[in-house]
Amino acid sequence: MKLHYTIIPFYLLLGGCFSSAQLLNEQRRANTGQSTQECYHTITKPAVRQLGKTYGVNNQGVPQTQLTNEIINAPEKTRFRTPCPEQMTSEFILTLQNALKSTGYFPYRITGSMDVETKRAIKLYQKQRALDSDIVSWKTLESLGIEPL
Protein backbone atom coordinates (compact mmCIF):
# COMPACT_ATOMS: atom_id res chain seq x y z
CA MET A 1 0.00 0.00 0.00
CA LYS A 2 1.45 3.36 -1.07
CA LEU A 3 0.66 6.45 1.00
CA HIS A 4 0.41 9.94 -0.47
CA TYR A 5 0.98 12.98 1.69
CA THR A 6 -0.23 16.50 1.11
CA ILE A 7 1.49 19.34 2.88
CA ILE A 8 -1.07 21.76 4.30
CA PRO A 9 0.34 25.12 5.40
CA PHE A 10 -0.11 25.68 9.13
CA TYR A 11 -2.20 28.83 8.70
CA LEU A 12 -4.82 26.86 6.75
CA LEU A 13 -5.23 24.53 9.68
CA LEU A 14 -5.88 27.56 11.87
CA GLY A 15 -8.54 28.85 9.51
CA GLY A 16 -6.53 31.89 8.41
CA CYS A 17 -8.04 34.12 5.77
CA PHE A 18 -5.87 34.53 2.69
CA SER A 19 -6.63 35.46 -0.88
CA SER A 20 -6.84 32.75 -3.51
CA ALA A 21 -3.67 34.18 -5.11
CA GLN A 22 -1.78 33.70 -1.85
CA LEU A 23 -3.11 30.17 -1.49
CA LEU A 24 -2.13 29.29 -5.06
CA ASN A 25 1.31 30.77 -4.48
CA GLU A 26 1.72 28.69 -1.29
CA GLN A 27 0.55 25.56 -3.10
CA ARG A 28 3.00 26.25 -5.95
CA ARG A 29 5.84 26.71 -3.47
CA ALA A 30 4.94 23.47 -1.69
CA ASN A 31 4.80 21.59 -5.02
CA THR A 32 8.14 22.97 -6.23
CA GLY A 33 9.90 22.65 -2.90
CA GLN A 34 10.44 26.40 -2.59
CA SER A 35 10.71 28.04 0.79
CA THR A 36 7.63 29.73 2.20
CA GLN A 37 9.85 31.97 4.30
CA GLU A 38 8.99 35.66 4.22
CA CYS A 39 11.71 38.30 4.35
CA TYR A 40 11.42 41.85 5.64
CA HIS A 41 13.57 44.96 5.76
CA THR A 42 13.38 47.79 8.29
CA ILE A 43 14.50 51.36 7.68
CA THR A 44 14.79 53.88 10.47
CA LYS A 45 14.27 57.56 9.84
CA PRO A 46 16.27 59.42 12.51
CA ALA A 47 14.77 61.85 14.98
CA VAL A 48 14.65 65.48 13.94
CA ARG A 49 16.18 67.86 16.48
CA GLN A 50 16.00 71.62 16.54
CA LEU A 51 18.91 73.48 18.07
CA GLY A 52 18.39 77.07 18.97
CA LYS A 53 18.99 79.95 21.31
CA THR A 54 16.58 81.94 23.35
CA TYR A 55 17.40 85.39 24.57
CA GLY A 56 15.98 87.10 27.57
CA VAL A 57 16.67 89.17 30.62
CA ASN A 58 16.72 87.74 34.14
CA ASN A 59 14.99 89.49 37.07
CA GLN A 60 18.12 91.58 37.76
CA GLY A 61 18.02 92.94 34.19
CA VAL A 62 21.05 90.96 33.01
CA PRO A 63 20.78 89.61 29.44
CA GLN A 64 20.80 85.82 29.21
CA THR A 65 21.18 83.36 26.38
CA GLN A 66 19.85 79.85 26.73
CA LEU A 67 20.63 77.03 24.30
CA THR A 68 17.78 74.72 23.37
CA ASN A 69 17.88 71.20 21.98
CA GLU A 70 14.40 69.99 21.18
CA ILE A 71 13.24 66.80 19.46
CA ILE A 72 10.63 67.80 16.89
CA ASN A 73 9.94 64.36 15.39
CA ALA A 74 10.70 61.02 17.04
CA PRO A 75 12.53 58.36 15.04
CA GLU A 76 10.28 56.44 12.65
CA LYS A 77 10.69 52.78 11.72
CA THR A 78 9.23 51.36 8.53
CA ARG A 79 9.15 47.61 8.05
CA PHE A 80 8.27 46.16 4.66
CA ARG A 81 8.25 42.81 2.95
CA THR A 82 10.97 42.11 0.41
CA PRO A 83 11.96 39.21 -1.80
CA CYS A 84 14.25 36.79 0.05
CA PRO A 85 17.90 36.64 -1.08
CA GLU A 86 17.44 33.29 -2.85
CA GLN A 87 14.69 34.88 -4.97
CA MET A 88 16.98 37.64 -6.23
CA THR A 89 18.33 35.64 -9.16
CA SER A 90 19.78 37.31 -12.24
CA GLU A 91 16.63 36.34 -14.17
CA PHE A 92 14.49 38.02 -11.51
CA ILE A 93 16.67 41.16 -11.57
CA LEU A 94 16.47 41.23 -15.40
CA THR A 95 12.67 41.23 -15.08
CA LEU A 96 12.84 44.01 -12.51
CA GLN A 97 15.18 46.11 -14.67
CA ASN A 98 12.94 45.65 -17.72
CA ALA A 99 9.86 46.67 -15.72
CA LEU A 100 11.64 49.77 -14.38
CA LYS A 101 12.86 50.57 -17.92
CA SER A 102 9.32 50.35 -19.32
CA THR A 103 8.16 52.91 -16.72
CA GLY A 104 11.04 55.28 -17.48
CA TYR A 105 12.95 54.78 -14.22
CA PHE A 106 15.83 52.70 -15.63
CA PRO A 107 17.58 54.40 -18.57
CA TYR A 108 20.62 52.16 -18.16
CA ARG A 109 21.88 48.97 -19.77
CA ILE A 110 20.05 45.81 -18.64
CA THR A 111 22.61 43.70 -16.76
CA GLY A 112 20.73 41.24 -14.56
CA SER A 113 22.76 42.29 -11.55
CA MET A 114 21.77 44.41 -8.55
CA ASP A 115 24.20 47.19 -9.41
CA VAL A 116 24.31 50.85 -8.38
CA GLU A 117 22.08 51.92 -11.28
CA THR A 118 19.41 49.33 -10.39
CA LYS A 119 19.41 50.40 -6.74
CA ARG A 120 19.20 54.06 -7.82
CA ALA A 121 16.18 53.30 -10.02
CA ILE A 122 14.48 51.28 -7.26
CA LYS A 123 15.03 54.09 -4.76
CA LEU A 124 13.64 56.74 -7.12
CA TYR A 125 10.60 54.62 -8.01
CA GLN A 126 9.84 53.82 -4.37
CA LYS A 127 10.58 57.32 -3.05
CA GLN A 128 7.82 58.68 -5.28
CA ARG A 129 5.56 56.12 -3.61
CA ALA A 130 6.50 57.13 -0.02
CA LEU A 131 9.19 54.49 0.60
CA ASP A 132 12.72 55.90 0.76
CA SER A 133 14.81 52.74 0.26
CA ASP A 134 16.89 51.09 -2.44
CA ILE A 135 15.80 47.65 -1.20
CA VAL A 136 12.94 46.56 -3.47
CA SER A 137 9.66 46.01 -1.65
CA TRP A 138 6.98 43.43 -2.37
CA LYS A 139 4.48 46.25 -3.06
CA THR A 140 6.85 47.77 -5.62
CA LEU A 141 7.10 44.44 -7.41
CA GLU A 142 3.32 44.10 -7.44
CA SER A 143 2.91 47.65 -8.78
CA LEU A 144 5.35 46.79 -11.59
CA GLY A 145 3.42 43.60 -12.38
CA ILE A 146 6.14 41.27 -11.10
CA GLU A 147 5.20 38.29 -8.97
CA PRO A 148 8.08 37.11 -6.80
CA LEU A 149 8.32 33.33 -6.58
Which tens digit of pLDDT belongs to each residue from 96-140?
999 999 999 999 999 999 999 999 999 999 999 999 999 999 999
State how far the Cα of 97 lies from the Cα of 111, in Å rounded to an integer.
Answer: 8
Higher per-residue confidence, 129 vs 22: 129
- Which of 24-33, 59-68, 86-95, 130-139 is least confident? 24-33
Are the C-beta atoms of 83 and 142 separated by less than 8 Å? no
State how far the Cα of 138 lies from the Cα of 147, in Å rounded to an integer.
Answer: 9
Are the C-beta atoms of 80 and 138 separated by less than 8 Å? yes
Report the alpha-carbon angle 119-96-138, nearest 5.
85
Residue 35 has pLDDT above 70, yes or no: no
The pLDDT of residue 119 = 97
The pLDDT of residue 17 = 40
Higher per-residue confidence, 19 vs 101: 101
CA gyration radius, the chain:
25
Which of helix, strand or coil describes residue 142? Answer: helix
State how far the Cα of 89 lies from the Cα of 149, in Å rounded to an integer.
Answer: 11
- Which of 17-21, 63-67, 69-73, 85-89 is least confident? 17-21
Higher per-residue confidence, 10 vs 84: 84
